[in-house]
Amino acid sequence: MSDWYKDAVFYEVHVKAFMDADGNGVGDFAGLTGKLDYLHDLGVDCLWILPMYPSPLRDDGYDIADFYGIHPAYGSLEDFQKFLDAAHDRGLRVIADLVMNHTSDAHPWFQAARSDPASPYHEYYVWSDSDRTYREARIIFTDTEKSNWTFDPVAKRYYWHRFFSHQPDLNYDNPAVKAAMLDVMRCWLDRGLDGFRCDAVPYLIEREGTSCENLPETHAILKEFRRVIDAEYSGRVLLAEANQWPEDVRPYFADGDEFHMAFHFPLMPRLYMGVRREDRLPITDIFTHTPAIPPNCQWCLFLRNHDELTLEMVTNEERDYMYYAYASDPSMKLNLGIRRRLAPLMDNDRRRIELLNCLLLTLPGSPIVYYGDEIGMGDNVYLGDRNGVRTPMQWSDDRNAGFSSAEPGALYLPVVTDPAYHYQAVNVAAQEKDPASPLNTMRRLIAVRKQSPVFGRGTIEFLRPRNQAVLAYLRAWRDETLLVVANLSARTQPVELDLAAHEGAQPVEMLSRNRFPAVARAPYFLSLGPHGYYWFRLERRDRRPVRYGIEDTAI
């Protein structure tokens, strides 16, 4: 199916953090390959690999020094190919991060560009004799950067960078850059990669007098990339990272001919807010501000990722509330966000974690699970930057959580040893033995989600019960209707749902397969335990055995 991504459950994984096969303290592709069965059993469909290219790692790999290689710490190209083939053998797809907007200043293109103005690579970057051009463009990393221009003493000119000064922007007004980036994509797609998560896409083109973001020329380039990929490959996907409001992300879907998918950034903080406030309004409200997208496109939903829990897409009041609620210690804050994992954000409350996963898997879009969150891994706020949420995967209670045989001091980051989330208690091996563990619960939820295409493809209609602590919505696609009811509060709640339009239907709870009383014209009464939830399939009771008109004479 060419639109497989609409039904897929994604899994975000950092190669360095998952499994270390060669014992040097850094995860690698051989290690990841060895854990593919685990991912297959979890039920995910597509892995999203964070940047795996050669890089000075001054921005965790988002500063790429060679688009065609594999960082030596992660293995070789051959290791990557073995991993990709092994994933495909298990029916798993793989997409990888691709930074289109810029390179590392260590990239040979930039080195050639700065050392020789006559080099064809000079025009691969954006140069100026003044640092006053494009002044309307905001500075994104205000903590570290004072300008989007940096003077290069070798070239004796300023170069443009929207992110760190060691990440010069590529010049997409130069057709050779477009061609070079397309060749990069072809190289990986030829190897069998199933697509790219495209980093920082709004900034490809600069124009004087504009914010230099989301420009029509940028969209034209992205569409050109899509056109070429569609023409030369099938079943590949492009996922846009554009941390913007949904209406501003909407143009990246264009008419279904630009990106297949884009992250729904503002939903995520509102899920946390809804659970904390025990009020469905923040969640239902954001959907009223979510525009329709073309039928071949899809939102990507997530609870956590490798960055901080970004609060850019909330109001100032909401941000204060989120800090108050979820970042009691100032060290937990970073930039405009909170650098914590799912379980600590939920105070390690199993029911709340499960409830959020329930919402992640049932709201419209394709969910992304961040590695380790399926077992309720903790974080380490004392590690710098966002490293606290990038610690080694916890496989067992062995040394280094079973992640590596290296000396503990040689690990790229220490394993979590906080008493509540210690790897000796929170690990895959222990949870596999426990049928009720977070891991097995997640497996069940994913398995049930995969029983119905409605979750990935259906419409959503929110019900408005009087009890504001209950979030209830209908998902429908073709002739199938699902009902999700969730108690956002920590106390048992009653709720009456107006399901008159489905009178006669019989709700079948999808996790237990239990049949509930049929829907009548009167309000449908349910009670929900603390943070409890139901996934119902509404079966029409008047359904008679289908007749095709061939039965009487079929033999």
Identify the residue among 118, 231, 292, 550 touching another protein (CB under 8 A).
550
Identify the residue among 118, 130, 513, 548 touching another protein (CB under 8 A).
548
**Does the active-site annotation cover 136?**
no
Residue with tokens 């349910």: 526
Tell me which residues in 469-488 interact with another protein (CB under 8 A). 478-479
Residue 233 or 287: which CB sits closer to another protein? Answer: 233
Distance of alpha carbon 306 from alpha carbon 329, whole angstroms = 20
**Least distance in angstroms from the C-beta of 548 to another protein:** 5
3-state secondary structure of 24: coil
Identify the residue among 2, 115, 142, 514 touching another protein (CB under 8 A).
2
**Least distance in angstroms from the C-beta of 447 to another protein:** 10
Q: Which residues contact 458 (CB under 8 A, 6 or more apart)?
A: 364, 475, 476, 477, 480, 482
Distance of alpha carbon 247 from alpha carbon 518, whole angstroms = 39
Distance of alpha carbon 348 from alpha carbon 378, whole angstroms = 9
* Residue 129 within binding range of another protein, rule CB under 8 A: no
**Least distance in angstroms from the C-beta of 551 to another protein:** 5
**Least distance in angstroms from the C-beta of 550 to another protein:** 5
Q: Which helix (H) or strand (E) holds 136?
A: none
First to last CA, the chain: 34
* Residue 549 within binding range of another protein, rule CB under 8 A: yes
Residue 331 or 451: which CB sits closer to another protein? Answer: 451
Identify the residue among 144, 331, 451, 514 touching another protein (CB under 8 A).
451
**Least distance in angstroms from the C-beta of 510 to another protein:** 13
* Residue 542 within binding range of another protein, rule CB under 8 A: no
Contact indicator for 405, 411 with CB cutoff of 8 Å: no
Segment lying near another protein (by CB under 8 A), choices 134-142, 260-268, 451-459, 499-507? 451-459
HEC secondary structure over 347-378: CCCHHHHHHHHHHHHHCCCEEEEECCHHHCCC
Contact indicator for 489, 531 with CB cutoff of 8 Å: yes
* Residue 551 within binding range of another protein, rule CB under 8 A: yes
**Least distance in angstroms from the C-beta of 15 to another protein:** 27
Segment lying near another protein (by CB under 8 A), choices 120-128, 263-271, 316-324, 542-550? 542-550
* Residue 90 within binding range of another protein, rule CB under 8 A: no
Compute the chain's Rg from CA coordinates.
25
Q: Which of 185, 197, 192, 191 is nearest to 224 (CA)?
A: 185
3-state secondary structure of 526: strand
Nearest 5°: the CA angle 102, 6, 463 is 115
Identify the residue among 453, 504, 523, 530 touching another protein (CB under 8 A).
453
Residue 143 or 479: which CB sits closer to another protein? Answer: 479
Question: C-alpha distances in angstroms, 6 versus 114, 127, 147, 170, 448?
Answer: 44, 41, 40, 32, 16
**Least distance in angstroms from the C-beta of 257 to another protein:** 16
Residue 1 or 118: which CB sits closer to another protein? Answer: 1
- Of 7, 206, 241, 258, which residue is the catalytic one? 241
Residue 345 or 454: which CB sits closer to another protein? Answer: 454
Contact indicator for 64, 54 with CB cutoff of 8 Å: yes
3-state secondary structure of 493: strand
Contact indicator for 392, 31 with CB cutoff of 8 Å: no
* Residue 255 within binding range of another protein, rule CB under 8 A: no
- Of 199, 206, 213, 374, which residue is the catalytic one? 199
Would you state the torsion angle of the CA atoms of residues 11, 15, 18, 23, taken in this order, to the nearest 10 degrees?
170
Tell me which residues in 386-445 interact with another protein (CB under 8 A). none
Listing from the earlier edge strand, what are the strands of the sheet with 149-152? Answer: 127-128, 157-160, 149-152
**Least distance in angstroms from the C-beta of 451 to another protein:** 7
Compute CA 324 distance to the chain's CA centroid, rounded to the nearest angstrom.
25
Residue 143 or 552: which CB sits closer to another protein? Answer: 552
Distance of alpha carbon 118 from alpha carbon 272, whole angstroms = 53
* Residue 118 within binding range of another protein, rule CB under 8 A: no
What beta strand segments (E) does 286-402 contain? 298-302, 309-310, 333-334, 337-338, 366-370
Segment lying near another protein (by CB under 8 A), choices 112-120, 187-195, 458-466, 541-549? 541-549
* Residue 452 within binding range of another protein, rule CB under 8 A: yes
**Does the active-site annotation cover 199?**
yes
Identify the residue among 3, 217, 278, 385 touching another protein (CB under 8 A).
3
Task: List residues with catalytic annotation.
Answer: 199, 241
What residues line the site for another protein (CB under 8 A)?
1-3, 451-453, 478-479, 546-555
